[in-house]
Structure 1
């Protein structure tokens, strides 16, 4: 039942469905994903209007008259009804105000002199100057935001401009997180001999929250059927359940059996990847259930490579995988596992491109390398060694900076 990494990820994504839509107010839309195309409700601008404070004129008149009689004033927010620009006249106008009849250009105030009755035009004027014509930005019924778009401040400005107060977006999943093991204690407790403080729940919750989903911390389940059954039942009330530890082959690795007793149907157990190999995936009435290893590094890599893409798909993202970048190796990166290998690396920018070097000891018990790493190098199962200056695929996890120049 061991799956290659790519087969495992594809199985997960094939069995993960987008969540339903919910209507969300404008103030909460940043980072949300649109469930349907948004069509412009009207032309924008809705009417011809002035780009500048100045004078609405007929360009032809400005060829024959140095001075024009100012016949009226149109401030922003008012109507142009009753105003007309006739030969030899102009209308004073403010930015955004509607263009009056007979006008085909606006002269900015800085290109004029105004004595209170007449305006002197000091520069040449041509048809269309400083007028924003109806529909010149957006046409009515035009698709302005496509399904699957991530809403940013610019999109929210547009939605507000069309007088919308809320809009349907994909719901964000509630992700239940459960750590398992008699040896675990919660942060804040003083561990006795042989006990370990649970960090996995918190790193997984942070990773869930970082992508916009909602973590639900279930605490720690003990290694017995009653405790596991109770916690798993609570977790299955969420949209997704992630368990940590208890899925290997030890005598007390009871999570798989407890999940099956709760109605979770296994899809696969074990992936040909390192770290993160003893990962399981199942479904409970279509609900994704992930069982990650208890080792902190394996848990985080498993989430990054297998869980994160599924959660993004549930939230409506079109692109759920981090892009791959090419980086030149500094030193040596090795893969003797015969599996897809994920190495913690430090990537820097140079004048000739990205370079990657090991973030340190790649043992899965070494947490400090996750702190130093800003990228993951991916070595395919058949790729055993990358030497100095070879190119390797990397997924960037954070900012990449130029190294400090000490010269």
Structure 2
């Protein structure tokens, strides 16, 4: 009997606040420690290992230190890029980890006569054959599944790694533009190792096999933290197998406690809302917790800037909270109201904004209209969000972003 760990959407380097950085690292250290203690034969990481393709140096040092532990324990790690790991023109820290032998990329994709051909990677100890498709920003990788051509399949145990959602398995009522129909997955594999979906999901699909998303161990988007506060379990999975799957065990990781405080501003003045929030804050014990303040609705009078979020945050931190995260994206003032778009996660809000605006644009270029236009706009936005690196000159930053955008558009930058 063999076993492997399946981890995804770790997003190392996501956090910019000290306490959340600490939790982010504690969670990953527990993943590594558990894999070594459980003596897994190998580890799968199905995308978004890092939140940026080139995170700051403290994140890189932390990652190298922990991957060395797995390397020293003789536990190989097989990866595909996620949309956050990937860059069309730049080196990624994943490539550095691959070069020193800590990771092995299994997304060996190449195009031949408009077909996306994949090559297998074989794990030396278990003889498991692995192959996968990396994730791309805004679902650009969807085209890779449409013209997929695999090597000849044999009777060995086979794993397919991917970083994209599955329409039929989407638990949200919202449409995820970064997802594919289940029929797009190649047949003939024993285990389908998914990434991109942040909630644990394990399904036995008829005529296909076992599909698993381990979810994120922590991540830290406000929506992730809200789900944590609502007792959504976070962690990764360990899979036992011989010639077929024997057991899929979810390993929960919990490094902190949460308190979610939700407020409805409808029909209230800014002053009345301040009193209500302050009263609620005085009734809780915030010590050693991540406190989530979520305020939404339309104020009857007053500006949204008159709601004392800075004061609330300082009071909670002084009372011992580890961190305070404020979500006021759906808080509006009646006097200064703009038409709002109902959406949950930040990505859903972006999708709706692009969808509403792109359909108003008349163009003869099909790649700039409809769903393709939304995907193009999202990928462009992702590049424009890239922050300037430490010690990077402004002119070098501008050149880097310009080159990335032009590469996305298929235009080679003049040297």
With structure 1 as the length reference, what TM-score do the two structures score? 0.27
Structure with the higher fraction of residues in helix conformation:
2
Higher Cα Rg, which structure? 1
With structure 2 as the length reference, what TM-score do the two structures score? 0.27
Q: Which has the higher contact order (CA 8 A, sep 6+)?
A: 1
